[in-house]
Amino acid sequence: MANAITEEAVQKTVYEALPQFGVDEGDITREATFEDLDVDSLDLAELSQIIEDEYGVALKGDDVGKIKTVGDAIDLVIQKGS
């Protein structure tokens, strides 16, 4: 069952996922860019899968290609899910 999409829930999912890709927890903020966090395209593809498994929202390559910051990713999920 897909979980309800709230900003708080999505933020928690994203914040918990990023350390799996080697990101320091302390560096994660909404404004942080994936470039600065050293999160690459494979990491973003995996993050998309985690989001899809959890919320049933499929993020396409085109959409994911445009996001720059952690906040962008959270906003995209909320936008796609509503």
Strand partners, 69: 33
Residues that bind another protein (rule: CB under 8 A) add up to a total of: 3
Which residues make Cβ contacts (< 8 Å) with residue 8, sequence separation at least 6?
Answer: none
Which residues make Cβ contacts (< 8 Å) with residue 66, sequence separation at least 6?
Answer: 72
Check binding of 42 to another protein (CB under 8 A). Answer: yes
Check binding of 54 to another protein (CB under 8 A). Answer: no
Q: How far is the CB of 42 from another protein (least distance, A)?
A: 6
Check binding of 46 to another protein (CB under 8 A). Answer: yes
Catalytic-role residue among 40, 43, 62, 75: 40
**How many Cβ atoms are within 10 Å of 22's Cβ, its own excluded?**
10
State yes or no: is 40 an active-site residue.
yes
Q: Which residues bind another protein (CB under 8 A)?
A: 42, 46, 49
